[in-house]
Amino acid sequence: MIGDRLRLDGRTVVVAGAGGGGIGTAVCAAAAELGANVVGLDIDEPALATARAAVAGAGAGGSFRGIVADVRVKDAVDAAVADAVAAFGSVDGLVHVVGGQRPGHWQRADEFPVADLDEVLDLNLRAALLTSQAAARAMTAAGHGGSIVHIASVAAFFAAPFSLAYSAAKAALISLTRTTAAEWGPRGIRVNAVATGTIRTPHSRGNDDADASRDAVLALRRRGTPEELAGAVVFLLSDLAGFVTGQALTVDGGSTIRPSYLGPDDIPVFMEDGDLRRRLLRD
Domain count, the chain: 1
Domain assignment of residue 205, given as a range: 2-280
- 60 Rama sector, left if φ>0, alpha if ψ -120 to 50, beta otherwise: beta
The tens-digit pLDDT sequence of the chain (283 residues) is 787 898 999 999 999 999 988 999 999 999 999 999 999 999 999 999 999 999 998 776 778 999 999 999 999 999 999 999 999 999 999 999 999 988 888 888 888 899 999 999 999 999 999 999 999 999 999 999 999 999 999 999 988 888 899 999 999 999 999 999 999 999 999 999 999 998 887 766 554 445 555 665 788 888 899 999 999 999 999 999 999 999 999 999 988 888 777 888 888 888 888 888 888 887 5
- Check residue 215 and give its pLDDT: 65
Q: Give catalytic residue positions.
A: 166
CATH number at residue 77: 3.40.50.720
Phi, psi of 249 (to 5 degrees): -80, 120
- Check residue 207 and give its pLDDT: 45
Other CB atoms within 10 Å distance of the CB of residue 154: 19
CA distance 140 to 120: 30
- Check residue 102 and give its pLDDT: 86
- Check residue 60 and give its pLDDT: 65
Residue 209 identity (one-letter amino acid): D
- Check residue 132 and give its pLDDT: 98
